[in-house]
A and B are shown apart, each in its own frame.
Chain A
Amino acid sequence: MATPTHLLKDELDIVIPTIRNLDFLEMWRPFLQPYHLIIVQDGDPTKTIKVPEGFDYELYNRNDINRMLGPRSNCISFKDSACRCFGYMVSKKKYIFTIDDDCFVAQDPSGKLVNALEQHIKNLLCPSTPFFFNTLYDPFREGADFVRGYPFSLREGVPTAVSHGLWLNIPDYDAPTQLVKPLERNTRYVDAVLTIPKGTLFPMCGMNLAFDRDLIGPAMYFGLMGDGQPIGRYDDMWAGWCIKVICDHLGLGVKTGLPYIYHSKASNPFVNLRKEYKGIFWQEEIIPFFQAAVLPKDCTTVQACYIELSKQVKDKLGKVDPYFDKLADAMVTWIEAWDELNPSGPGAKIAK
């Protein structure tokens, strides 16, 4: 295998939430070793997480989170991979790549190993096209272009804030679907990256995700999940709806498609059902809320958009369940914590 080029190695952090070990990194070594890791250790802080030799990392457990955020630490979930967003907050880099510890390197149809991080970086470094759908998908990919009829004035595109990757093998299904189709595996390698159009929401999965922290970081809050919370497995979903509304408002792009990773572990559908149960009902209210959410023109920073969104959450979703009241407060706490840890740097810039 040719030596991979390690683009942006001083500008990107890899955030990994874990409770057990990071053995999976061995397989990723050729692609990820030059990058700095931020490990967020969930669960029992007295446990020692073994990091494979040769990786440069910082590790935070619950005690660190509590110490660093003080009373604001209540916005960071416990006993749920949602705690990973703490890693986004403490990073000092421009880009974040986050991956789950049961995700391995995938192979493309030719058998070649997929360098997922390299593809995410390509996605983030070239523009998105949210205002008009290109039928040949990402026009900036080699061998592709804008099709006949695509207006020239829209061909410059907009900055890409988020790159959402996919998964082969165990698909990211909800519990009911897992129960009905326990043996289904995703074997279809779809060789496309595309921009999700403006005004369209999507289910954002946090397993294989990259984003520009400067452009959208403060909106990547993964909500209140896990211990003491009525819901789980909606952390990335919640962040995905928030970031999409904000990206649409600020004129930023969200891409989905390549790269693929190989998802190895099937979680227990009965455990998942308990976690998701309320979410399945609540999402019927949540989705129309986000679809209708309008942010005022004077919200020109991510933080301003996010605070405004939290007000609307309290206002409109508070009546669905008191959980949303708490969540709205946590959203504000998150921004306060973010701003304190990131005083003048990334995330505080005025967006276009």
Chain B
Amino acid sequence: MSNATIDDSEVDIVIAAINPDLKSFLNEWRPIISQFHLIIVKDPDMKQELQIPEGFNADVFTKADITRKVGSSTSIVFSGYSCRYFGYLVSRKKYIISIDDDCTPARDSNGDLVDVVAQHIANLKTPATPFFFNTLYDPFRKGADFVRGYPFSLRSGVTCGLSCGLWLNLADLDAPTQALKPEQRNSRYVDAVMTVPVRALLPVSGVNIAFDREVVGPALFPALRLAGEGKFRWETMEDIWCGMCVKVVCDHLGLGVKTGMPYVWRKDRGDAVQSLKKEWEGVKLMEEVVPFFQSVRLPRSAVTAEDCVVSMAKTVKEELGKVDPMFARASDAMAEWVKLWKSVGSSSSEA
């Protein structure tokens, strides 16, 4: 499927344990991830012990580890889905792949298991093409190429910083949408990867993502926390928020963001109608958030992801802080994150 060779030592798989029993999750993923190093971060709010099967090269981090490493920070809360960011912080690898613990491997249209790692790495290792849309999608895939009319000067592409995967079965829809269509499941396997064009924003789902930690690591952070944030994806916006930041940062730094394959199979979980009340807040917020990100400009002097996040944090505070205190807190968390990244997360990242 992919031509990129994977160096196992380049990859960390980061799992946020929202559920204590990881046995079936890890056993289902075993054929695909057992040769890689795993970073498992236990949700600090979880009282139960984690259950992890044998045969994995895994480091597990708990609340105690988090507190020891980062102190008791007031602006960054590593709870729920956001505990995964602690995993990003302590990783020393170039590539990180992160999948929600309610997902299992999907099968493609031939019935073969989708190797999520191989596809994400292929996406990250081949160039992205954000400046002009290729109608045959990713031109670097086997059997594809740039089409007639694609300018030659743009064919070498740019580094891909982020790879956004998709989901079969339970798609990552918001609570109102899922509540309206309770039976809807995503059964369409779209055999494509494509670069999201420069200046186009997208909702980045944390359910199934991978990124180049060296180039964009500082731009993925736990910052936007809904007042009613919960343990179901449709009760969060943290990934959507940092996804917008990452896209703006990538656009500014001339990096690419790809979307499409690989797919994971997302299990049915939760009740959208129950979550509706909580998640309505997040849905309303997007109306403020999107125009903000569409217009934010980063200074020319910002040449690293850290610089970009610091600058964006300031702008968030100035422009969105007055709209809702949640944004002011997000701004603080962003600034704090960069400091943390520099002190704890620094070693393998290059400017």
Show the binding face of A for B, using Cβ within 8 Å: 109, 132-137, 143-154, 164, 166, 171-174, 177, 181, 184-192, 196-205, 233-234, 236-237, 240, 256, 276, 280, 283-284, 287
Contact = CB atoms under 8 A, between A and B. Distances in A.
A171 B145 contact: yes
B113 interface: no
A171 B192 CA distance: 16
B132 A287 contact: yes
A135 B184 CA distance: 16
A155 B173 CA distance: 13
Contact of B203 (A149, A189, A256, A276): A149
Nearest to A166: B135
A155 to B, nearest CB: 9
Contact of A166 (B136, B240, B287, B290): B136
A153 B181 CA distance: 19
Contacts of B287: 151-153
B144 A188 contact: yes
Contact of A135 (B151, B154, B188, B203): B203
Nearest to A237: B149
Given A153-B287, A172-B147, A202 B237 contact: no
A284 B152 contact: yes
Contacts of A136: 166, 171, 186
B240 A143 contact: no
Given A152-B287, A200-B197, 4 more contacts: A143-B184, A148-B205, A149-B240, A164-B135
Contacts of A280: 152
Contacts of B150: 174, 203
Contact of A197 (B171, B197, B233): B197
B192 A145 contact: no
Interface residues of B, number: 57
A151 to B, nearest CB: 4
Nearest to B239: A149
Contacts of B341: none
Contacts of B290: 132, 151, 154
Secondary structure type dominating chain B contacts: loop
A186 B136 contact: yes
A148 B143 contact: no
Closest 9 CB pairs of A and B: A149-B203, A203-B149, A197-B200, A149-B240, A133-B202, A200-B197, A202-B133, A237-B149, A148-B174
Interface in B203-250: 203-205, 233-234, 237, 240, 243
Interface of B: 109, 132-137, 141, 143-154, 164, 166, 171-174, 177, 181, 184, 186-192, 196-205, 233-234, 237, 240, 243, 259, 283, 286-287, 289-290
Contacts of B237: 149
Contacts of A174: 146-150
A314 B39 CA distance: 59
Nearest to A136: B171
Contacts of A147: 171-174, 203, 205
25 contacts: A132-B200, A133-B196, A134-B203, A147-B171, A148-B203, A149-B205, A152-B286, A171-B144, A171-B145, A174-B150, A177-B148, A188-B192, A190-B191, A191-B191, A192-B190, A196-B197, A200-B133, A202-B133, A203-B147, A205-B135, A256-B135, A276-B148, A283-B151, A284-B152, A287-B154
Most chain A beta carbons < 10 A, residue from B109, B202, B233, B234: B202
A136 B186 CA distance: 9
A148 B172 contact: yes
A114 to B, nearest CB: 16
Contact of B200 (A133, A177, A256, A283): A133
A132 B146 contact: no
Contacts of A143: 184, 186-188
Majority secondary structure, A binding face: loop
B159 to A, nearest CB: 19
Contact of B151 (A181, A189, A284): A284
Nearest to A137: B190
Nearest to B236: A148
Given A166-B135, A205-B135, A199 B199 contact: yes
A203 B139 CA distance: 13
Contacts of A236: 149
Contact of B188 (A172, A188, A191): A191
B91 to A, nearest CB: 25
Contacts of B144: 171, 186, 188
Contacts of A153: 287
A146 B181 CA distance: 12
Contacts of B259: 133, 135
A135 B109 contact: no
Q: Which of A166, A174, A187, A237 has the most CB of B within 10 A?
A: A174
B164 A135 contact: yes
A177 B143 CA distance: 12
B120 to A, nearest CB: 15
A173 B145 contact: yes
B250 to A, nearest CB: 13
Contacts of A188: 141, 143-144, 191-192
Given A143-B187, A256-B135, A173 B148 contact: yes
Contact of A186 (B133, B143, B149): B143
B148 A172 contact: yes
A191 B151 CA distance: 26
A191 B190 contact: yes
B187 A177 contact: no
A151 B294 CA distance: 13
A102 to B, nearest CB: 15
A132 B202 contact: yes
